Amino acid sequence: MKEALSKAARLKKGALMKRMSKKIAMKKKINAKKMASPEKLKDRAQKAARTLLLKKLTKGRDKSELSVGQKEKFEKALSKKKGAINKIAMKMLPKIKEKEKARLAAMKAED
């Protein structure tokens, strides 16, 4: 886990992000028009697989409804299921690629 930032470090980081906000917004706008990289698609598939397994473990409850202790317990259980997450992610990858293509097609139709 990442260590919490001190108040001074948080203020400094906030000022940096405020300075960079226009640049970040411009990059997001440009990248939104491009197809996501295979690495990014794989990351999305991994996240979707984790979410799917978490839903099964929590019996459909939302993550925000869980207590901190329950979240830790489920995160620990998920960390033991890396193989299953990878397997599910590989199965989900084609659907995620389709969604990305549909997103780009919708964006081009908008223009």
The long-range contacts involving 54-62, CB below 8 angstroms and separated by at least 24 positions, are 54/78
Q: Residue 63 has which token pair?
A: 């993550």
Greater model confidence, 14 or 2: 14
Q: How many CB atoms lie within 10 A of CB 85?
A: 19
pLDDT at 86 > cutoff 90: yes
Mean pLDDT of 61-78: 89
Q: pTM for this one?
A: 0.71
**Residue 85 in contact with residue 49, Cβ under 8 Å?**
yes
CA dist 66 → 50, 56, 69 (Å):
16, 14, 8
Rounded distance between C-alpha atoms, residue 97 and residue 103, angstroms: 10
